[in-house]
Every structure is written in C-alpha cells, then in structure tokens.
C-alpha cells in the first residue's frame, strides 16, 4: 500500500481491507509511520512513540471491528500501560501508567493499532496546543495557525492524514475545537456514555468525556459503537443507546426544528463564523428541516465565568495532586497553570458551589429551549483558527504569575477582574463549546465551511441528553449535502 492509496481510506475502509486480507495490519502500520515521518516534523502532532504496536500487528494481527487500523491516543487521560502520561506537563514526564485507561483498553479490544501519543497543552487547559514541554502543534492547513486544543495533536494528525481517527477528550470543547480547526468530525457525547477511568474518574466535576476525532461520520459512528461500554468504576453512567450509531446514520432523521444563532455575550463573532452558520442553516433547510434564527438560550459570559470557576478549582487540585503524588515543584509547571491554580485556590468552596447552582440554571434554560427546538446550531469557533503564539502570555506576566502563586496572591488576582479577562481572552474565540460540558449534553462539530484563506471552520449542533445518534444522523446528512472528505491540506 502506498501513502496516496492510504489517504483515500477512512478507518472503516481500512478495516475492511485488512479483514478481506487485501493488505496486512503490518503493511498499514508501516504506511502510517511513513506518513508520520513525512509530515509530523512540520505539525508536531505526535510526541511519543508506542513500539508495542509492532507486536500487535505481528502474526495474524489484532482482532475486532477496526482490526489493523492505525490509531493514536492523546497524552492526557488516555493512559497506555508502561508509558508516561505527561498531560503536556514537565511535572509528569516520569509518571508511568501502571495500567491502560478504559479508553485505551477499549481501543485495543476494537483492534486499533496504537503507535503513538499526541500533543496536548498542559493539563488540557487551553483551546490551543502549545505546551512548553513539547512545543506547539500546528495546523496542517496552514502551519502558522493552531490546530486547536486541547486535543490539538490528535486533530492535526488526523487532518494531515497520519491516521484516519485518533483519541481525544473534551472538557470544554477539546474534541470539537480541534475538529473545527482541522476539518474533522468531532462528537462530544452525552456525559457518562464514554467515561474516564480508572485513573481519573470524574475530571473537572464531570465536564470531561472521552472520544475521537475522525474524517468521516461513519468512522465516528462505528468507533463510538466499538468504544462505548459499561465501566464498573465509572462515576457517571449514561443509558446505552438502544440501536448502534452505525445503524442510525443509515437512515435519515425525522424532520427537525432547529434554532440557530451566532451571537455571544463574550465576543462579536467573525463574519466568516456567521457565514458558516448561515450556510449550514440553508443546507439543513434544503434537507427538509425547519430552521429559524433564535436568541441564544444562555448568557455566554455568565456561563464562561461559572465554567472557569469550576475549571480553575480543578486546576488547583491537579497541581496539588501532582505535588503530593510525584513530588512536583512549582518550577515543573507552566506559569499560566500556576496562575489559574491560584485563582481556583483563592476562590474557595463557596464560589465553586455557587457556580454549580448556576450550572443547574443553565440546564433549565437549555431544557426550556428544547421544548421548542430539537437542536441548537451555532458556530464551533467564533473566529478562524488563531495564529500560533497569539495567546502566549508575556514574559513579565508569567513572572508575576509565579510570584503571586508562591505568595498565595489569588485574592489580589481575583480583585483585578482577571477571571473576566480570562473569559474574554481564552474563551473569546471559542464561546460556544462550554455549554455542552457544563450541562452534560451532546454536541458535534461538522466541517461544512472553509474560510476565504482556506482554513476549516466548523459548525456545531447541540442536542438533548441521549441525542448522540440524532446528531450523527444530521451530520451524515450534511456530509452528503456538503462533502468534505475530498479536501486535503498541502504539506
């Protein structure tokens, strides 16, 4: 198999070739590595090798519905036994996993051949992927731009054709943001459908779910069918869908009522983000759905403050846990991480509990919206993918952050309005994705639009609890109406 042939197949297609013995798992792995050697130096998507893949493809090779398909896991909460899981942090470079995560074991059971780990920002805390430990991951469509985050390495690897699908997870948009940046499909599932564990059982108060980024809808459906399963130690369980997602996408969805909006109280969206949603709205209307513009059913700035209050408290716990468990020192963490950890520590229990009360209010407002509308359509990104380095904190502020963390100056930081500043700066280009995490609802990014400069710019569809299959059905309709798989970056 040649690289140009490899690029024409999605994961489902490759699995069919291996099953038919038209190509071996070892041959496919060799081509994936060849593609990686050619493009990874330019995009910095893969940051660690997993040589056990060679044993996996030896002899008769693996078994399972995706037997022989090359795959990558994220270097965050997708532990591979015997290898460090760094979370993009110097503090965890020697933190070797004693066992596979549920996600990794499920991927191996499905026959996926895991040969590397992908780049991620420190503790997955940003919508970009520029850790000091590994350096910036870059967008294969234009390497001056970000592939998003925190699953940016996975998004870049799939976007560049190293693998047809890769592991990702999503605590505030970390599947959907890189999907949008790299021209991919990214489904954040209903909370509890694909849980974490056994290492991290309830990351960020249940915000985080495991998942994948893929080039095709059928790969997303088939991979979730293969990966979803009951995990006895999981903190949260969602009812398993009755029918498989692969069966669901074989049929068109019922006629839906869809409300769309581009507005955000955090930022004025870029005209191309607005155009992306209007374009998708027209396509959905042409497919027979009732589509109308609506007011946003939530206040993005208020939700952003609640989201970051809880997220910062989790960051404080992560830093404290790393210090206790592996003896990490302040110098082992990035300045930005120490800053948000200090903000979380200084906020105290009351602020977090108030954010949780508000979280229930966000659920109520969204539920009221769904009494009228089946789905909510928004941009995935408020702006095209940012340039690498655009959100880098100036050195002087990094120094100040380290000092304030050391002296427990979080109250001073909070008094300056830093949380509102961080909402505007860090969520300003991605204000639409946190809603699904804070409410536990499913949402999918679909790559139906490209900017005038040729960068992907996704649209997001959000549904009610358990609407994962419905979202995939609609995504499959859009894939037929506005196909994207023939588009490839030039690297």
3-class secondary-structure state, position 371: coil
Q: Say which DSSP state 90 is in.
A: G
Candidates 455, 472, 477; CA nearest to 188 is: 472
Asked if 69 and 113 touch (Cβ cutoff 8 Å), the reply is: yes
Task: Please report, for residues 91, 95, 99, 131, the alpha-carbon distance to residue 326 in angstroms, rounded to integers and kept in the order given.
Answer: 8, 8, 17, 20
Sheet of 375-379: strand order equals 165-170, 209-214, 185-188, 443-446, 459-462, 375-379, 257-260, 290-293
Candidates 129, 438, 200; CA nearest to 306 is: 438
329 is catalytic: no
Catalytic residue among 36, 101, 106, 150: 150
Catalytic residue among 151, 154, 174, 445: 174
User: Facing residues of 113 across strands?
Assistant: 70
3-class secondary-structure state, position 258: strand
Residue 263 backbone dihedrals phi, psi, to 5 degrees = -70, 150
Dihedral in degrees, nearest 10, Cα atoms 70, 71, 72, 74: 180
Asked if 12 and 220 touch (Cβ cutoff 8 Å), the reply is: no
Q: Two tokens at 490?
A: 């030039």
Quick one: 93 exposed, middle or buried, by C-beta within 10 A (0-12, 13-18, 19+)?
middle
User: Parallel, antiparallel, or unpaired: how do β-strands 257-260 and 375-379 relate?
Assistant: parallel
Asked if 260 and 373 touch (Cβ cutoff 8 Å), the reply is: no
174 is catalytic: yes
Catalytic residue among 36, 74, 89, 246: 74
**H/E element holding 5?**
helix 3-6
Enzyme catalytic residues: 74, 150, 174
């Amino acid at each position: 198999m040649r690289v140009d042939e490899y690029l024409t197949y999605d994961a489902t297609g490759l699995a069919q070739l291996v099953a038919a013995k038209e190509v071996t798992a070892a041959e496919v792995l060799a081509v994936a590595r060849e593609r990686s050697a050619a493009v990874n130096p330019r995009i910095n998507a893969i940051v660690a090798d997993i040589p056990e893949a060679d044993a996996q493809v030896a002899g008769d090779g693996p078994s399972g519905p995706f037997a022989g398909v090359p795959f990558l896991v994220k270097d965050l909460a997708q532990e591979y036994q015997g290898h460090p899981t760094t979370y993009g942090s110097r503090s965890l470079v020697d933190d070797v996993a004693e066992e596979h995560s549920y996600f990794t074991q499920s991927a191996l059971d499905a026959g996926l051949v895991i040969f590397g780990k992908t780049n991620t920002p420190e503790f997955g805390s940003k919508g970009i992927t520029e850790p000091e430990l590994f350096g910036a991951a870059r967008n294969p469509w234009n390497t001056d731009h970000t592939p998003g985050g925190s699953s940016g390495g996975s998004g870049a690897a799939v976007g560049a054709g190293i693998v047809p699908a890769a592991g990702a997870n999503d605590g505030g948009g970390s599947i959907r943001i890189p999907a949008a940046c790299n021209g991919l499909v990214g489904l954040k599932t209903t909370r509890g459908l694909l849980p974490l564990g056994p290492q991290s059982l309830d990351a960020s108060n249940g915000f985080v779910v495991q998942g994948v980024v893929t080039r095709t809808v059928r790969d997303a459906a088939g991979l979730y069918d293969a990966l979803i399963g009951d995990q006895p130690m999981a903190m949260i369980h969602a009812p398993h869908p009755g029918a498989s997602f692969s069966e669901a996408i074989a049929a068109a969805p019922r006629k839906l009522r869809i409300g769309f909006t581009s507005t955000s109280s955090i930022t004025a969206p870029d005209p191309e983000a607005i155009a992306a949603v209007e374009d998708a709205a027209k396509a959905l209307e042409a497919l027979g759905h009732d589509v109308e513009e609506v007011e946003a059913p939530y206040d993005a700035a208020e939700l952003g403050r609640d989201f970051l209050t809880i997220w910062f408290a989790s960051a404080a716990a992560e830093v404290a846990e790393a210090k206790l468990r592996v003896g990490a020192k302040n110098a082992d963490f990035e300045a930005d991480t120490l800053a948000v950890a200090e903000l979380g520590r200084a906020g105290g229990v009351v602020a977090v509990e108030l954010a949780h009360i508000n979280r229930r209010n966000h659920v109520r407002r969204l539920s009221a919206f769904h009494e009228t509308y089946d789905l909510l359509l928004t941009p995935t990104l408020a702006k095209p993918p940012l340039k690498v380095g655009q959100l880098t904190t100036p050195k002087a502020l990094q120094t100040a952050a380290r000092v304030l963390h050391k002296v427990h100056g979080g109250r001073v930081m909070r008094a300056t309005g830093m949380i509102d500043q961080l909402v505007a700066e860090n969520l300003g280009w991605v204000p639409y994705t946190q809603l699904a995490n804070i409410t536990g609802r499913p949402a999918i990014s679909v790559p139906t639009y490209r900017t005038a400069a040729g960068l992907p710019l996704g649209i997001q569809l959000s549904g009610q609890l358990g609407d994962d299959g419905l979202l995939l059905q609609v995504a499959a309709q859009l894939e037929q109406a506005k196909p994207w798989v023939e588009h490839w970056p030039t690297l």
